[in-house]
Amino acid sequence: DSGVTQTPKHLITATGQRVTLRCSPRSGDLSVYWYQQSLDQGLQFLIQYYNGEERAKGNILERFSAQQFPDLHSELNLSSLELGDSALYFCASSVGDGFNQPQHFGDGTRLSIL
C-alpha cells in the first residue's frame, strides 16, 4: 500500500459528460502528480501541484483541469468526455518538489467512456 488514495476505483460514463477524480496524497507529501495511462499513449504526465500551486504541466488537454486544496488533496476534472479519454488515471505524491524524489502512486481510477 503506497499510502496514496484514489477514488473512485472505476468510473463508467458517456461521451459529453463531466467527471471528477479525487486523490489523497501520502501523509506529509506536498506534491501531487496526475498521469494518464492508455494503450496507445502509455503513461503520460498531465500536471503537478505543490502545496496548492501548479508546478508543472504536461500533455493535459484544455478540457481537463486540476487543483490541489488546502488539505492537500487533489481533484482532476475531465469534461466534454470523448471515447479516447478512456484510460487509467493515476495520482502520485512525493514529499517535496525535488526532481530526485520518488513518486508514490495510487491504485488508479479506471475511466470507461461508453
Please, is 47 exposed, middle or buried when counting C-beta atoms within 10 Å of its C-beta (0-12, 13-18, 19+)? buried
Report the candidate in 11, 2, 3 with the shortest Cα–Cα distance to residue 77. Answer: 11
**Is 58 among the residues that bind other proteins (CB under 8 A)?**
yes
CB 16, min distance to other proteins, A: 27
Least distance between other proteins and beta carbon 57 (Å): 8
Q: Rule CB under 8 A: which residues touch other proteins?
A: 2, 33, 35, 42-43, 45, 47-48, 55-58, 88, 90, 92, 99-100, 102-108, 110
